[in-house]
Structure 1
Amino acid sequence: MADTKQQISKEAELFLTGSLMTTVIPSIYVLVFIASVPLNAAAIFMFSFRVRPKKPAVIYMLNLATADLLFVLLLPFKASYHFNGTDWVYGSAMCRVVTFAFYCNMYGSVLLMMCISVDRFLAVVYPIRSLAWRCQRNAVAVCCAMWLLAVAGVMPIVLPEQTAYLPDLNITTCYDVKEDSEMHGYYLYFFPAFSCVFFFIPLIVTTACYGSIIRVLLRASESKRSKKTRALVTAIMVLTVFVVCFTPSNILLLAHYAEYSKQHSDSLYTAYLVATSIGSVNCCLDPVIYYFGSSQYRKQVARLLCRQAPPGSSSQKTSKTSQSGTFQGSLEKR
Structure 2
Amino acid sequence: MTPCSSLEVKTMDVSIFCKLVLAVYIFTFLIGLPSNLLAFYTFLVKVRQTPTPIDVLLLNLTISDIFLLIFLPFKMVEATSDSKWTLPAFLCPLTSFFFYSSIYTSSLFLMAVSIERYLGVAFPIKYKLRRRPVYAVAASVIFWVVSCAHCSIVYIVQYHVRTPNETVQLNETPHCYENFTQEQLQILLPVRLELFLVLFCLPFTVTVFCYVNFVRILVALPNIPARKKQRAVGLAVATLFTFVVCFAPYNLSHVVGFVQNQSPTWRVYALLPSTLNTAFDPAIFYFSSTAVQRTFANCLASLRCKLRATVTWCSLPCLTRCGEGERKVEVPSRDETEGTTCGLP
Query: In the TM superposition, what is the alpha-carbon distance from 1:298 to its structure 2 partner?
Result: 1.5
The alignment's C-alpha RMSD in Å is 2.9
Note closer, same or farther for the CA distance 1:197–1:239 as it changes in structure 2 (3 Å cut).
Answer: same
Distance in 1, matches of 2:285 and 2:9, equals: 42
Alignment CA distance shift 1:278-1:312 (3 Å): farther
Q: Structure 2 matches for 1:274-289, cutoff 5 A?
A: 274-289=269-284
Instruction: Name the CA shift for 1:145/1:11 in 2 (closer, same or farther; >3 Å).
Output: closer
Label 1:25 to 1:253 Cα distance change in 2 as closer, same or farther (>3 A).
farther
Residues 18, 83 of structure 2: 8 Å contact kept: yes
Distance 1:253 1:30 in 2: 26
TM-score between both structures, scaled by the size of structure 2:
0.77
Deviation at 1:145, TM superposition (A): 1.2
**Contact 2:32-2:278 at 8 Å conserved across structures:** yes
Relative to structure 1, is the Cα distance of residues 302 and 25 closer, same or farther in structure 2, using a 3 angstrom cutoff?
Answer: closer
Quickly say closer, same or farther: Cα 1:71–1:295, change in 2 above 3 A. same
| Residue equivalent to 1:230 | 231
> Partner amino acid for 2:139?
V
How far off is 1:216 after superposition?
A: 1.2
How far apart, in 1, do the equivalents of 2:77 and 2:13 lie?
14
The corresponding residue for 1:100 is: 97
Q: State the AA in 2 paired with 1:206.
A: T
Paired position in structure 2 for 1:174: 176
Gaps of 5+ in 2: 1-5, 306-337
Q: Deviations over 1:225-264 (max 9, x none)?
A: 62422222222222222222111111123213322x2xx6
Give the superposition deviation at 1:283.
Answer: 0.8
Aligned pairs, number: 296
Change (3 A) 1:189 1:251: same
Matched, 1:294 2:289: yes
Which residue does the alignment assign to 2:24? 28
- SS for the counterpart of 2:101 is helix
Percent identity over paired residues: 24
Within 2, Cα distance between the matches of 1:313 and 1:212?
A: 47
- 2:190–2:258 CA contact under 8 A, matched in 1: no
Name the SS of the counterpart of 2:175 in structure 1.
strand
Distance 1:137 1:281, change over 3 A: same
When residues 107 and 15 of structure 1 are mapped into structure 2, their CA distance, relative to the original with a 3 A threshold, is farther
The residue that corresponds to 2:214 in the other structure is: 213
- Give distance in 2, aligned partners of 1:69 and 1:103: 13
Which structure's CA Rg is the greater one? 2
Mapped pair 1:142 → 2:139: yes
* AA of the residue aligned to 1:289: I
- 1:88 counterpart residue number: 85
The letter of the residue matching 1:193 is E
Amino acid of the structure 2 residue aligned with 1:158:
Y
TM superposition score normalised by structure 1: 0.79
Q: How many angstroms does 1:17 deviate by? A: 6.3
1:77 is displaced (CA, Å) by 0.9
Q: What per-residue deviation string (whole Å, max 9, x for no partner) do you get for residues 159-183 of structure 1?
A: 1226989x9xx96111122112222
The equivalent residue for 1:189 is 190
The amino acid of 2:258's aligned partner reads: Y
Contact in 1 for aligned 2:211/2:236 (Cα 8 Å): yes
Distance in 2, Cα, partners of 1:55 & 1:13: 47
2:126 equivalent among 125, 129, 144 = 129
| Alignment partner, residue 257 of structure 1 | 258
For the 8 Å contact 1:86–1:171, the answer to whether it is kept is no
Map 1:111-126; keep pairs closer than 5 Å. 111-126=108-123
| Aligned twin of 1:332 | none
Compute the displacement of 1:20 (Å). 5.6
State the one-letter code of the partner of 2:276: V
Distance in 1 (CA, whole Å) between partners of 2:129 and 2:122 is 15
Give the AA of the match of 1:233: G
Q: CA deviation at 1:13?
A: 7.1
CA distance in 1, matches of 2:105, 2:7: 33
Which amino acid counterpart does residue 268 of structure 2 have in structure 1? L
Flag the 1:102–1:140 CA change in 2: closer, same or farther, 3 A: same
Looking at structure 2, the residues matched to 311 and 62 of structure 1 have their Cα atoms a distance apart, in angstroms, of 35
